[in-house]
Amino acid sequence: MMPLLAMALLCVSGRHADEVSPEPVTIPASGFEWFSYLLGFPGWQGGPPAFLATVEEAEKDPSSTMIFCLGPVGILEDLDLKRFIRKGGALLIATEQTATPGVEYLLRSTLGCTPSGLEVRSARPQDPEHAYQNQSICPLAKAIGGKKHPWFFRDNQEVKPATNRPTILGKPSPGVQSGGFAGPVVPARSSILMANTDVESGRIGLIGDASIFTNLMLQAPDNIPFALNVAEWAREGKSQTRSKLLLIVDGNVVPRAFSPPLMLPPVPIPTPEALLDRLYRSAEGLVQGVEKGLADLDDRDALNESAQRAIPPNWFIYAAGIITLILSGLIIRLLAGSTSRSQFAKSDPTTPNPPSRRESFVTRIWRTSSTATITAISRWKERRRPSIQP
């Protein structure tokens, strides 16, 4: 019964899945949905961070909080960022725009540099080691300073993320030069793209390109590994793992991680009556097949001949087989409802009756038991039907 029930559920769910198409979901190329998904991915050791819904929540527990600000930074003016960092918080700013006064003061006092707002391009876009897909507006970034910076290295594997219309930074001091460009850029005023530093138990990082984390740019081979490296750098402090995240995108707080839509829509559950009817119809064909097989054997008198030869020496083995066959027929009848062999060939009153068929004892037992069972099952269905109405 359980296999037939599973088959019926698959048939019903498959039918509804074909009838109801999933609604298309459009993700903008310039959005940051997939980056938020990476930040909230449950595979992080210790679990994903809890997304904060307001800026004020970030100041309550700095040592357990990290702030990612992508794009305009004006919303950060309401925070005491220096206190936040000194108390153990992590702040990452990725922007191509010049900073607001309060944020600029913080960056100059901690890193010694701010975004210039000057867009640069690759001077040799035809070189695949310098630019992504031969696009001059997409110069590749790399670690600088002669050290394996945690943003660019994981297990001694270096990544070179692709940027998109980046801006350059001034030389950081006292900050650390985190990353620059893989090849020459124009105008050639500077080659510094990223900087970071630790301030007491907290840390701060600056990237002169927010679009490095957009949905479009995360398609570049090394951008996802780079994004994961930056996220881990922010999560892991000197003595603690930060478990809260304030994500700010284009001046707005993102309260939750992006959840990719399921490919299959919800499957409606059929009513019990509809499910039972489908089970009856599915089992009906199996019953008819057994009855047709017995009828064919009766035509050839095969069962009686076999029984005459086999019963004397091995009567108990064949008796067990017959009992098993009868029980199987009763179960099939239970699922299929009223079914008789007459459904295969309707009698025509204008034609003479066919000659009588010599039936085997197995067929006679089947006929007798199934007739009695049908009467009981039909009554059971009538009593059961009112109780399973939706």
Read off the DSSP letter of residue 48.
P
- Residue 299 pLDDT grade (very low, low, confident, very high; cuts 50, 70, 90): low
Greater model confidence, 247 or 367? 247
- Residues of the chain with pLDDT > 90, as a percent, come to 47
Q: The tokens of 248 are what?
A: 């700010």
Q: Mean pLDDT in the chain?
A: 77
Residue-wise pLDDT for 4-45, tens only, equals 444 444 454 444 444 455 566 678 888 999 999 999 988 888
Q: Looking at residues 371-386, what average pLDDT do you find?
A: 62
Q: The tokens of 211 are what?
A: 């679009």
Domain residues of the chain, as ranges? 27-254, 270-343+357-388
In angstroms, the CA 242 to CA 234 distance is 8
pTM exceeds 0.75: no
Strand runs (DSSP E) across 71-151, as ranges? 90-94, 115-119, 121-122, 141-143
pLDDT at 346 over 70: no
CB 141 within 8 A of CB 160: yes
Chain-centroid distance of CA 353 in Å reads: 65
In angstroms, the CA 219 to CA 177 distance is 26
207 bridge partner residues: 94, 194
Max Cα separation, the chain? 110
SS3 181: strand
pLDDT at 1 over 50: no
Rg of the chain over all Cα atoms, to the nearest angstrom: 37
In angstroms, the CA 142 to CA 125 distance is 16
Q: Looking at residues 346-351, what average pLDDT do you find?
A: 43
Question: Between 3.40.50, 3.10.129, 3.30.70, 1.10.238, what CATH number should domain 27-254 receive?
Answer: 3.40.50
Lowest mean pLDDT among 49-53, 119-123, 171-175, 352-356: 352-356
Residue environment code for 216-252, b if the CB has 16+ CB neighbours within 10 A, otherwise e? bbbebebbbbbbbbbbebbbbbeeeebbbbbbbbeee
Winning range, highest mean pLDDT, from 251-265, 315-329, 363-377: 251-265
- Residue 343 pLDDT grade (very low, low, confident, very high; cuts 50, 70, 90): very low
SS3 335: helix
CB 100 within 8 A of CB 73: yes
pLDDT at 351 over 90: no
Greater model confidence, 328 or 39? 39
Q: Looking at residues 150-173, what average pLDDT do you find?
A: 91
CB 133 within 8 A of CB 108: no
pLDDT at 293 over 70: no
Greater model confidence, 21 or 94? 94
Peptide bond preceding 101 in cis form (omega within 30 of 0)? no
Q: Looking at residues 286-311, what average pLDDT do you find?
A: 57
Read off the DSSP letter of residue 134.
G
- Residue that the structure tokens 């091995």 belong to: 314
- Residue 285 pLDDT grade (very low, low, confident, very high; cuts 50, 70, 90): low
CB 139 within 8 A of CB 181: yes
CA nearest to 264, candidates 16, 5, 7: 16
Residue-wise pLDDT for 96-122, tens only, equals 988 889 999 999 999 999 999 999 999
